[in-house]
Structures are given as structure tokens and as C-alpha cells.
Structure 1
Amino acid sequence: MRSTGTLPGWLAPRPTLMCALLLPLMAWPGIAHAQTAEPAAPTVESQRSQAVQQRIPQQTVSKVGVLQGIVMDQAGRPLVGVEVRLPGAVAPVSTSADGIFRMLRISPGSYELTFTPRGGVATRRQGVEIHAGEVLSIEVHLTVADKGAIFALPQTPAEVLADTNYKELSRRPDADGAVVAAPLENILPEAAYFQPKPDRWNASMPNYHRYNLGDETPFVLGHWYDPFNRNRLKADKPLFGKTFFSLTADSITALEGKRLPTPAGQSTSSVNEPDFFGRGGQFFLAQTFRFSFDLFHGDTSAFRPVDWRIRVTPAANINYLNARENQVVSPVVTNGTTRLDGHVGLQEAFGEVKVADVGPNYDFMNVRVGIQAFVSDFRGFVFADEQPGVRVFGNLLSNRIQYNFAMFDLLEKDTNSGLNTFHRRGREVAVANVFIQDFIAKGYTTEFSYHFQRDNNSLQYNDNGVIVRPAPIGTIAPHRIDADYMGWTGDGHIGKLNLTHAFYEVLGNDSFSQIAAQKTGINAQFAAVELSVDRDYMRFRTSFLYASGDGKVRDGTARGFSSIVDGVAFAGGEFSFFNREGIPLTRAGVALTAPDSFLPDLRSSKDEGQSNFVNPGIFLYNAGLDVDVLPTLKFVANTNFMQFDRTESLEFLLQQNGIRRTIGVDSGAGFIYRPFLNDNVIIHAGATDLVPLRGLRDIYTSQTLISVFGLVKFQF
């Protein structure tokens, strides 16, 4: 249908727009006085004069004006694409998706304003006054053609916009806070402007089913056991005010069958075993439950940091080990070849508070005190643990820079579960780092860091009755280690090339190195780099890792690199046998490597033992492939070639000459399956092996070491 010469009456202005324009007026002294004493309403000219007098001192008075407004249909819906013309003033403009238009730099004068909607007839308004230094806000209602019309309406002369369809909402001086309002009719308290709005947190969901029951529906009622829809236990609604609570529950089931080099010992589990190495088969099963209770105040968005937070995460673990040889589960032969153990630990228990807002774009500084998870770099090369400490952290320059200052007083770990105990370890760690985004290139983040560890001299037996501090090697004596780590790492992409790199220099001293049998200085290096390229659904990657080794065992300087507590996700991670498994060193009381670490640093235990800087070091060369077979299924293949940097420390410790450098070829494959495209159900499964080459054969045998594993994680 086409518009007529006489338009319907003006409807009430949109409440949201009017509230935004009228709320400042409620605090205006003249209006507040008018509501109480009810004097004669001031004229627009008198308000304009008063506003000019209140202009900010030394501010230049503008010689042009501004016209802005909103264009709606008779039902109050915004009209998109309406052409707005002010002939002789500025170029035509069109309304936005919200029906809003703006015209800038208009010379003072009286103009004819024309509106031409899509498929409608032009409507004009004469006598629109534009004043210098003012912003005029208007609201216009038009009658438009039926949206279902097929043919455009014929062109007719522009019709006059009735007074009931045109309203000046306000006039205000440009660039200052003074608002000059056009005369307003009395607004009763029960008018739409003052109607209370419903509480958005408790707004009920409509009982509406567009599809059959059981299909996807646009509105779903939440339940306490439903983590996907509105749930107060998942911080979808506040407990009170702006205080939210989030519950996260995890069930992690891990199982593994592996073959490791295992000495037969003084008493074998079966008769007629003359060989030095016994049967190395082991089966391990562990079930862990974690419950995270998170109470915080603030906003649930990812941009604004919380004002304060309290989080507690207890964990319970039960594990079972079945070995084929004695003295694997315990040094006591009579304990047999099986072990069932359990432990309950506290993995998180901290309070956090925002200290200050340091920028307009949610830059902040927070302090967190208590047991907390912390990873000091991108891949966990030096420190990754859940320990009690004090951490000051925040960001700068619109989150381009992030920083951390943290100090930790470490707890002892339960030997078989890896969970925290409630006993102090006697080991202090301090970390300071800064991350800079878009450093050198967009998409690349670099980090500069400093780590310090002090491991005090102490005596400790683990839960299986094995001495772990000091390590049962060399000259056994308690000793203290002070070590400083300076590092530069990076992660991200430069163009199409994905890049991760790290370099660390560690300096310090060991009061008594057990292998060197004297006080030693520490000077060791570490480097790693990973390059990858994405092609469709595949990622081709290659990486290199180097940890320096010590070639002069007794010279007073320890040159082998050793971390604090690493948890490495690099060169295949869990799909690498050498990284996944802890390989014991034959009858030496220490391990060649610890679980989740590539470093052959000859520790008694990564968690309970001390760093050892007299070690063989390593060169690692890697090639791998990641394939997103399906959106829910990822396939991983990985191959590593490894060799020792120096073997003198192994020769001294094992009293064996001529140990060669090559370790072996480590390969693995597996998949990661997320059936629901989220973290509620995750399944990991794979197999890895390590084919020994000359160096590993010199220490063990030529038998291939294998591991088959699976992990199932459920999360609420």
C-alpha cells in the first residue's frame, strides 16, 4: 500500500531512547526545582542561554550545528535505509539498522527536512531550525508501504510530515555536558518511562516448543543437574547481587600397560630367572575425582576481571599397580608385586582480590594468595605445579602486556597419586615474567622470565619407603641448591608459520653435589623450538630440544640442565614414550627421566627429589603430524630421535666405560576424541614405543620399550 497525505497520530517515543535522553534532565537543577515548586517552565531560548554560560572555560564555540535522530514506523519499530535529506546543507544520509541517522557540520539556518523510506513516499518537514554549536535530537514516525509489495510505488510529490509525527527531543550545546530540552509535557509516574524492568537473571523462559519433544528447542528450562542451560551452580545466575558460584566436577580415569627395563633384584617373582633384567611388564590404573568450588563477585564476561574470588579444589585418587617383578611396588620383597593406594589432597585453596584498575580497557592488578595452579611459560619447561604461594598479576595497554610476580613455598607430594599433602617441602620458588603480545609480528607473543629456586637440605623417604632426599647416589649427604633461571620464550605465529621457542640460562650453586662430591657452581643451558604449518585439516610440525650435559664430572662446575618442576607439552607430549614414562636407571636409585619430562637429569623423583645439574643432557629431533579427522576427532602421530649430549656422568654413576650417545627412536600415535565438541567428555588413547640404539643398549638391553594407554575424562 502507498502512504496517504494524512498520517496517523504520533505514538509514544521509544522508552529506551527517551530514558537515555531524559535521565540527565532529572538531575538538572531547573527541572528538579520545577518538580517541587512548579514555577513556569523555562523557554528553550532561556535554557540555551544558560547552557552557553555554563560552557567549559576557554572552549571554542562551534559555528556549525549537528542534527541526529531516530526514524520509526507507526508501531515503534526502527526503519532501516531511510534516506534523510537536508537540501542546501549537507549530503544525504541513510538510517542505520537501529533507525538512527546523524548529520554533521550544518550551517545555522532554517531548513526543509525530507525522509524517503524504501518503497515509500518522501515526507518533508519545514522550518527545522539548526543553531550554531548545538546538537538537535529528533524522533520521527513514518507510514511505509507494505513489505510484501512486489512493485515500487510511483513517484509523487513529498508529503508534509504532521506535527504529531515529528518531535524535538532535546537541544544541547556541542561538546559539553549541558542539555537543553525542548518543552516536555508532564509525564506521570505510571507512564511507560517509569515502568519497572524485570530482573534479567530471574526472567522466566517461555514454555514454547517449535519442534517435537526431544529435538532442539529455542527455550529450555534449566535444572541443577544440567550444565548446558541456565544453572545457578554454573554461574549463569548470581547467588545474590553480583556474587556468583560455579561448581566444576571432574572424573579422570587413566589406565596404562607398559614394559620398562626392570632388574631382577635379589629375589625374583618366579624361579629360573638367571638374567640380570627381569620381566618389565606393568599395569597401572588410577581414578581421580576433582571438585572445584568457585565463589566470585563481578562480571561473568571474559573482559572485565572479577572483584574478588575464593576457590577451593579438593581431589581424591585411588590407584592400582600390578608389576611382574618384585621391588617395583616397594623395596620390601614381601610386599609382592601389587599395590593398591589412595590419597586425598587439596589442589587449590586461594583467595583473590582486585587491587586496582590501571586502564580504561579493563586493565587491572590482582593479588592471589593460597594454593594455586601456575605454569611459568608456554610449554611448562621449568615450572608447572599446584602449590601455595602469593601471586601478583595483571595486564597493561589493553591486555597487550601481562605480568606475574609469584612466590611459592612448596608442599610435599603423595608418591603414588601425585596429589598435594599437607606437609611443607622445604623448597621455595620465585617467578617473575612478562608477556608481550604482537611482539615483532601480530599473532606472536613473547615472554621474558626469571625463576629462582632454593631447595634446602633435608632428609625424606617417600610413601613406599624409598629415600628420595638426598638421592641414593654418589656421596650421600644433604645439600642446598640455589639456582637462578633467566629465560626468553615465545609462542604464536608469524604469517602462516606457527612458532614456539624457548631459551634458558641457569646459574647458581649446589652446596654439595653428590656426583661431584664437592660444592659446585651451576652454569647450564636449555633451548627448544617448534615450527608448524597448517594445511587444511592437517598440521605438519617439527621441533628440536637441547639440554646441556656435564662432560667434566669433578671440575667444580655443574653444566647439566635441570628444571624446577617441569610438565612438558612438547614434541608429542603424551604420545612420546620418552616424555610420558619415567625410566629407572638400573640399580642407581634414580631415574634416567621422570614422567612428563624429556630431561635425563638423574633425579630420585621430579616431585620429591632435588634438581641435579650433573647429568648427561640431551639432543632431541622431532617430526609430527596432527590431523583433525572430524570436528570431534583428532589424530596425532609423532617420532623423536634422541641422543645424549655428554655421557661422562652416566659412566661415573654406573661405573661403566664406553657408553655411547645415541638413545633411540621414540614413536607414538593416538587420538583425542571430544564427542560433544566440548570438554564434558574427552577420551585419549594411544600407543608409544622406544627402540633402543647404541647408547641405551649400553645401559639396558636391545628390547623395545612399549606403552599402551587410555584416559577418559568426564566434566560437569
Structure 2
Amino acid sequence: MRSGPVSDSPTATASRSVNRSGPLRSVDRPEAVVPSTGLLGRPLVTCLPAPRILPLVLVAWLVVGATADAQTRGTLRGRVTDDIGAPQTPATVTLVSLDTEVERPAVTEEDGTFVFGGLRPGPYVVRVEEAGFLPYVSDTITLEPGGTPSVAIVLQLSTPPTFPPPPPERQPDYIPVPNRWKLRYPATSRYPAGIEGQDPFVDPGTVNPYRQSPLKGDVPVIGDDIFFVLKTIVETPFEYRKVPTIGGVSTDRPDTEAFFGEGEQWATLPTVLASVELFKGDTSFKPRDWAIRVTPAINLNYNVFRERNNLNASPEEGVTRRRGDIALEEAFGEIKLFDVSSNYDFVSVRAGIQPFTSDFRGFLFRDINLGVRTFGNWGSNRNQWNVAYFDQLEKETNSELNILERREQKVFIANWYRQDMFVPGYTVTASFHWSRDENPKLFFDENGFLARPSPIGVVAPHDVESFYAGFGGDGHWGRLNISHQFYQAWGRDDLNGIAGQEVDINAQFAAVEASVDKDWWRLKGTLVWASGDDDPLDEEARGFDSIFDNPNIIGGPFSFWNREGLRLSQTFVGLVGRESILPSLRTSKAEGQANFVNPGVLIYNLGWDAIWTQKLRSFANVSYLQFDKTEVLQILLFQSEIDKAIGIDTSIGFEYRPWLNDNVIIQTGVSVFTPSQGFENILTSDTLYTPFAVLTLTY
């Protein structure tokens, strides 16, 4: 670093003046100098005249003085940095002599260093004033003759720097754990503190449904991929109903009407299912390698009627029934045959007593029965398919649980589902069904009533073979939710009891439900049509009937028409079976044969579903029902005219989940049926109703 110029001393100025005078010339002094000798013969010194010697003496004095002054001066060095050690450049450093108060500035180099040279001994201070920093003044620095002290200057910011807050500590994306099956739920709360009973992420207890347990498939029981699942379901319905009830003629009530008596009834049918399953697999999005499941069931059946001859064919059995049944509802094995692609597409087969639903809503076949089913997918699960063959088992009359006796009815089903068809979120299905129900002899149910063939018209064993081609869809088109299904049925009944002859089947079924969601509620409209037979005595059966339906539509279990089985007066057949919407005129849905000579039905429904809280939902439905054709009823009941209007079915139901899961579900509701002219013509004009409650416990 260059310091400022040092002021010229008077001595130096005089020296330069002498040099400018130039050398002495002899022409100015012509006299010759003659050496002389003294007494000892030595030469005598001859003194020069004063004008010559004075300049020489002055030069010698200046040289000696300058050398002595240079030996007493010192140098001050230093470096200027900020508080993190970064050099400050350019920065102006001012050196102040405390003796003379003379200030001398310097500018720092690139590395922040500076040098003050040629300083007289004495006290000094260093001062630095830079924008953005606090003023700096050093302590007194005493410079000794010839000294070279050094000073380190650290400047402090005038205002503290503002830095963004450090990012929150990030949890690692992956934390190795010794056993991946022992993962715990996070210790976070779904709801604000202080709200008790609504936080599923709690410390697991003995019966806590979120506790990891080898009994419900949370951790392997053998190796790293074999799991065990124990599932128990206890379903307890309580039901009081008023329905048309045939009056049992008896001596204890001689004034009873011939056809209808007191229709009040109540029943409870608790059922316990205990499912045990062992399977080999890895993760939920991959198909299982194999599985074995066994589900025994226990049913208790208690009914109280006001009329005899309804619970049992013999009036001696009274008006109450109490019985229990044990059955094997599920017993199957499943194995994956092979993979179709690297995207977890596969082909598997399942054999044994197994559940199966052949369409979105259970219009044609929803049952648990003995069969073999091959199923799989392709196209990254966008396409799914089933090919199933069932050898139907008999059902117990009152509980409708399976009996280990073959019914002589064979069912074949093939269907295909395609996701995101036409628009994302909309799935279509195409299906083919075949059913052959052979009835070589009379079959009576557990209560002593004739179940096959139907005890109407020509009563003789006969076979029914039917085919169904179906197309349906379920999903949404934008905001519009839509679900629809169509079936065309054909086949042969070699001796229909009503027609009294062999008939060819040609019947249709169609249903569509459209709905729109608005925040917490859904408004929906539904139309259901099952074709009826307008000429029951010809060779064509045009009334639609299913294989084993259990549809979820027009209110499902909350609907009076769907929930209650209504018997047809003067016959031993049902107008509509329990958990069915088709007026098929069977003896029962579970044990009777399909009958394609029936009146059919047309249903208009308006529904409103609402989610009030995380625990409470409600379902409200109003349906208007009418027969598609009434000629069959006119012939059976020997009436010349029967109106098509059946009546209005109004229902409201609630579903309550106190623990925010499916471990405890309480369903309750009431449905009311207001008869119209057609129902009055064949049964009664009384208003019918049923309040009910169902408690379902699952573990």
C-alpha cells in the first residue's frame, strides 16, 4: 500500500539547492596551490578558502542527519475485516498523531491490508468510518523508534442483519425400522385438543380396533407374508310390522275373516358370523398368492304373529316361532394362477362356498353359494372379469342360511368391467347369465309349505332354463352420478303352472338412478322397470324374474316394498319376496323357482341422502309403484279388473357410527306404505308400516 507523501524537510531542500549550483570550476580561481613542507619534511596542509569548504561541510551534515532520522522512524501495518472475517475493501483508514493532531489517510488493498510508513515515534490512534458499520477508534498505539506494530481492525454492523427463519426440521423420507410390520400410527390428533372419543390415533388398548394384531392381518403369523384374519360380525335386527296377513281359521277365533286377519307382527333374527382366513400375500395392491376362508354362522329366529297358519302349515304350532340354525356360509380356497403383466395384472381361481354379485346393484344375482370362479384383470386393472359356475345349495327357510344339500340348480355367469369408459370415473359392465333349475319332485320347506313347484295353476314338477344378456354402467359424468342396468331374458319353462303349458321366455329389465351431490347431501331420482306378461295363457312368458336378487335401490333396506315380503291372498305365493323388488309370484325367493309369468312393476323414486356429522347419516325416499301388467293377477284371483296403481312407499332411515368406524353401526328407520287402487283390489286398503332397528357389531 502507498502512503501519502512525506513532507520535505528543510535539510533536504537545501541539499537539492546545492546540487543545482553545479561543480566549482578552476577558471573561477586561477591561483595555483603550491604544496609546502614542514620541519619534518612533511607536506603542509593547505586550507581552502571559506567559499569552497562551506558547501562540503553542509552536504556532510545533511547526509549524517538524514541517516540518523531514518533510523528513528517506524511503520504501522494492519488489516480491516467485518465480524465474520471478510476483508473490507476499499475502506479508508485514518491515522491520527496525538502529538501533532495531524491526520493521515490510507485506503485498504483487496485483502483488507494497509501500511503507514515513515512515522515519527509517538502516540497514534487509528480511526475507520464506513457506511453500514459502527465507527471504529483504536486504543492508543505508541510507536517506538524503528518499530513496526500491527493492528487488526474488526468492524461491527451498525444494524443486525435480517435473515429468513431457518426451515423447520424436516422429517426424513425414510426411517429404517427393524420390522416393517410393527409400524405404529402417528401420535397426532385429528380433532382439537379437549374433544374426547373422536381421535382414532390413540394409544392402542386391548379391544382398540386400531391396535396391530396378528388376529386381523396386521402382522404375519408365518414368515414374512402369511397372514391370519379373524373377523366376527353380530347383526341383530328388531322389527315390528303391519302387513296383510292371511287369517288362519281356528276355533279360538270364530269371527276371523276368511282371508285377512290381524296383521301386526314382530321379529328378531340375530345372526353371528365368525370368519377365519389364512392367506399368503405381500401388500394390498398386489393379488394374493393363495387364501383359505371358513365362515360358520349361527342364527336365532324368533317371530310373533297374531294369526295361525302363517309361521307353520299346521295351526297347532301356534303364533310364535323360536328356533336356531347353524350353517357354513363360506368355505373356499383361492390361488393365483399366473401374472398377466408387470403391473400386477393376474389370473386367479376360487373354489367353494363363496360370495358373488354379478352387477353393480345386485339386480340379478347376489348370493353366497357353492361354485368355482375364475377372475382377473388386465390393462393395469382397468379391465376386470369373472367367469363363475355355481351348483346352488338349498337355503334354510327361516334364516336363509346355506344347507349342505344340493338344489339341482346350476348357474353360469361371465362378466367384464371396464373403468374410465368414455369419460374418467365411469365404469361399464357387460354380462351373460345362464340358469337351469331342475325340479324332479315336490319340495316342501322347513315350515311344511310347498315351495317347488308353486301351488298355483297346474302343480307339477318342471324345469326352468333362462338366459340373460346385460349391460350396465356406474360412475359419474361431471357432476352427474349415474348408475344403470339393462337385461334381456330368454329361455324356456317346460311347464309353467299359471300358463298350464310350456312357455318361451322373453322379458326385459331396466333401471337407472341419477343423482347430484351438493356439499353434504345428495338428491337422486330412480326409475325401475320389470316387464310384465299381458297374456298369461299364451306360449310366451314376458314377466321378468331374476336368479337370486338383492338390489340396493329405491332406498334398499329402508324401503317397505323391498324389505317386507308380501303374500298374495287366496294363494300360497308371494306378491313380492323379502329383499326383492320383483313381483315374481314365487313361493319364496330362496326356495321357489323363477316365474316369468308375472305382472312386472314400474317404480318411480325420489331420494335424498344427507351426511349430518361424521357419525350420522340419513336416507329419505318416496316411491310410487304400479304394475306393468295386471292380467296375470286377474286370472289368479278371479277378478275382472285390477288397477295398475300399487301405492306409495315412504321411508326414512338413519345410520349412526358412534366410533367413526364400522365396528359399531346402528341403523334405524320407519317405512310406510299407502295402498293405491290396485293394491286395494288384491289385498287391503289399510296403511302398512314397519319401524325397525338393526345393531351390527364387527371385530
1:297-312 to 2 correspondences below 5 Å: 297-299=280-282, 301-312=283-294
Q: Which residue does the alignment assign to 1:530?
A: 513
Contact kept in structure 2, 1:227 and 1:234, CA below 8 Å: no
- After superposition, the C-alpha distances for 1:411-458 in whole angstroms (9 at most, x for unaligned) are 100111111111111101010000000111111101000000000023
Shift of 1:302: 2.6
Where do 5+ consecutive residues of structure 2 fail to align? 1-81, 87-159, 165-175
Shift of 1:4: 9.0
Q: CA separation in 2, counterparts of 1:506 and 1:534?
A: 34
Contact kept in structure 2, 1:205 and 1:221, CA below 8 Å: no
Q: 2:350 aligns with which of 362, 365, 368?
A: 368
Q: CA separation in 2, counterparts of 1:628 and 1:490?
A: 25
AA partner of residue 288 (structure 1) = T
AA partner of residue 413 (structure 2) = V
Matched, 1:352 2:334: yes
* TM-score normalised by length of structure 2: 0.73
Q: CA separation in 2, counterparts of 1:207 and 1:435?
A: 40
AA partner of residue 272 (structure 2) = F
Q: 1:576 aligns with which of 559, 574, 579?
A: 559
Matched, 1:328 2:310: yes
Q: CA separation in 2, counterparts of 1:279 and 1:217?
A: 49
Q: Which residue does the alignment assign to 1:647?
A: 630
Contact kept in structure 1, 2:204 and 2:210, CA below 8 Å: no
Residue aligned with 2:462, SS: coil
- After superposition, the C-alpha distances for 1:611-653 in whole angstroms (9 at most, x for unaligned) are 0000000111000100111111111110110111111111111
AA partner of residue 457 (structure 1) = N
Q: 1:549 aligns with which of 508, 521, 532?
A: 532
Q: Which residue does the alignment assign to 1:107?
A: none
- After superposition, the C-alpha distances for 1:384-410 in whole angstroms (9 at most, x for unaligned) are 000010000111111111100000001
RMSD: 2.6
AA partner of residue 551 (structure 2) = V
Contact kept in structure 2, 1:505 and 1:523, CA below 8 Å: yes
Identity of aligned residues (%): 45
Q: CA separation in 2, counterparts of 1:219 and 1:386?
A: 37
Contact kept in structure 2, 1:549 and 1:561, CA below 8 Å: yes
AA partner of residue 600 (structure 1) = P
Shift of 1:197: 7.0
Shift of 1:208: 13
1:10-409 to 2 correspondences below 5 Å: 151-152=162-163, 198-201=178-181, 220=203, 223=206, 225-241=207-223, 242-267=225-250, 270-274=253-257, 276-299=259-282, 301-409=283-391
AA partner of residue 299 (structure 2) = N
Shift of 1:198: 2.4
Relative distance call for 1:378 and 1:152 in structure 2 (3 A) is: same
Q: CA separation in 1, counterparts of 2:182 and 2:655?
A: 38
* TM-score normalised by length of structure 1: 0.71
Shift of 1:266: 2.3
Q: CA separation in 1, counterparts of 2:256 and 2:454?
A: 29
Shift of 1:227: 3.0
AA partner of residue 229 (structure 1) = R
Q: 1:430 aligns with which of 395, 412, 428?
A: 412
Relative distance call for 1:560 and 1:197 in structure 2 (3 A) is: closer
Relative distance call for 1:221 and 1:686 in structure 2 (3 A) is: closer
Q: CA separation in 2, counterparts of 1:554 and 1:313?
A: 46
Q: 1:515 aligns with which of 483, 498, 502?
A: 498
Contact kept in structure 1, 2:651 and 2:672, CA below 8 Å: yes
Contact kept in structure 2, 1:269 and 1:326, CA below 8 Å: no
- After superposition, the C-alpha distances for 1:545-584 in whole angstroms (9 at most, x for unaligned) are 0000001111101000000000010011112111111000
Q: Which residue does the alignment assign to 1:694?
A: 677
Q: CA separation in 2, counterparts of 1:514 and 1:640?
A: 31
Contact kept in structure 2, 1:548 and 1:617, CA below 8 Å: yes
Residue aligned with 2:270, SS: strand
Relative distance call for 1:266 and 1:309 in structure 2 (3 A) is: same
Shift of 1:460: 1.1
Q: Which residue does the alignment assign to 2:426?
A: 444
- After superposition, the C-alpha distances for 1:68-109 in whole angstroms (9 at most, x for unaligned) are xxxxxxxxxxxxxxxxxxxxxxxxxxxxxxxxxxxxxxxxxx
Q: CA separation in 1, counterparts of 2:605 and 2:186?
A: 56
Q: CA separation in 2, counterparts of 1:269 and 1:671?
A: 41
Relative distance call for 1:203 and 1:670 in structure 2 (3 A) is: closer
Shift of 1:201: 3.3
Contact kept in structure 1, 2:186 and 2:201, CA below 8 Å: no
Q: CA separation in 1, counterparts of 2:692 and 2:457?
A: 35
Relative distance call for 1:650 and 1:363 in structure 2 (3 A) is: same
Relative distance call for 1:673 and 1:358 in structure 2 (3 A) is: same
Q: CA separation in 2, counterparts of 1:702 and 1:324?
A: 19
Q: Which residue does the alignment assign to 1:466?
A: 449
Residue aligned with 1:373, SS: strand
- After superposition, the C-alpha distances for 1:363-402 in whole angstroms (9 at most, x for unaligned) are 1111000000000000000000000100001111111111
1:646-685 to 2 correspondences below 5 Å: 646-685=629-668
Relative distance call for 1:584 and 1:268 in structure 2 (3 A) is: farther
- Which deviates more, 500-509 or 568-577? 568-577
Contact kept in structure 1, 2:498 and 2:536, CA below 8 Å: yes
Residue aligned with 2:217, SS: coil
AA partner of residue 691 (structure 1) = T
Relative distance call for 1:623 and 1:232 in structure 2 (3 A) is: same
Relative distance call for 1:313 and 1:3 in structure 2 (3 A) is: farther
Residue aligned with 1:325, SS: coil
Contact kept in structure 2, 1:268 and 1:326, CA below 8 Å: no
Relative distance call for 1:217 and 1:298 in structure 2 (3 A) is: closer
Matched, 1:479 2:479: no
Contact kept in structure 2, 1:487 and 1:503, CA below 8 Å: yes
Residue aligned with 1:630, SS: coil
Relative distance call for 1:266 and 1:443 in structure 2 (3 A) is: same
Where do 5+ consecutive residues of structure 1 fail to align? 6-148, 154-195
Residue aligned with 1:649, SS: helix
Shift of 1:2: 10
Matched, 1:560 2:543: yes
- After superposition, the C-alpha distances for 1:243-265 in whole angstroms (9 at most, x for unaligned) are 00011101110011111111223
AA partner of residue 315 (structure 2) = V
Relative distance call for 1:697 and 1:152 in structure 2 (3 A) is: same
Q: Which structure is larger by alpha-carbon Rg, 1 or 2? A: 2
- Which deviates more, 608-617 or 672-681? 672-681
Residue aligned with 2:421, SS: coil
Contact kept in structure 2, 1:431 and 1:452, CA below 8 Å: yes
Contact kept in structure 2, 1:269 and 1:324, CA below 8 Å: no
Q: CA separation in 2, counterparts of 1:276 and 1:461?
A: 23
AA partner of residue 351 (structure 2) = V
Shift of 1:275: 6.0
Q: CA separation in 2, counterparts of 1:3 and 1:589?
A: 101
Q: Which residue does the alignment assign to 2:16?
A: none
Q: CA separation in 2, counterparts of 1:150 and 1:670?
A: 66
Q: CA separation in 2, counterparts of 1:313 and 1:681?
A: 20
Matched, 1:710 2:672: no
AA partner of residue 503 (structure 1) = F
Contact kept in structure 2, 1:259 and 1:707, CA below 8 Å: yes
Contact kept in structure 2, 1:641 and 1:665, CA below 8 Å: yes
Q: CA separation in 1, counterparts of 2:530 and 2:186?
A: 62
Shift of 1:361: 1.4
Relative distance call for 1:3 and 1:469 in structure 2 (3 A) is: farther
AA partner of residue 410 (structure 2) = E
Q: CA separation in 1, counterparts of 2:492 and 2:589?
A: 19
Q: Which residue does the alignment assign to 2:574?
A: 591
